[in-house]
A and B are shown apart, each in its own frame.
Chain A
Amino acid sequence: AQTVTQSQPEMSVQEAETVTLSCTYDTSESNYYLFWYKQPPSRQMILVIRQEAYKQQNATENRFSVNFQKAAKSFSLKISDSQLGDTAMYFCAFMKREAWAGSYQLTFGKGTKLSVIP
Chain B
Amino acid sequence: NAGVTQTPKFQVLKTGQSMTLQCAQDMNHNSMYWYRQDPGMGLRLIYYSASEGTTDKGEVPNGYNVSRLNKREFSLRLESAAPSQTSVYFCASSGTASYYEQYFGPGTRLTVT
Residues on A lying within 8 angstroms of B by beta carbon are 4, 9, 33, 42-45, 47, 50, 91, 95, 97, 101-111
Query: For chains A and B in complex, what number of residue pairs have CB atoms within 8 angstroms?
Result: 54
Residues of B within 8 A of A43 (CB): 88, 106-107
1/0 per residue, CB under 8 A from A, across B71-113: the answer is 0000000000000000010101010100111101011000000
**Given A105-B48, A110-B42, 8 extra CB contacts under 8 A:** A45-B90, A50-B100, A97-B100, A101-B96, A102-B50, A104-B31, A104-B99, A108-B42
- B25 interface residue (CB < 8 Å to A): no
Report how many residues on chain B are interfacial, defined by Cβ distance under 8 Å: 26
> Given contacts A44-B106, A103-B48, A103-B56, is CB(A108)–CB(B43) below 8 Å?
yes
Bound Cα distance A50, B40 (Å): 23
Distance (Å) between the CB of A29 and the closest chain B CB?
A: 14
Distance (Å) between the CB of B22 and the closest chain A CB?
A: 17
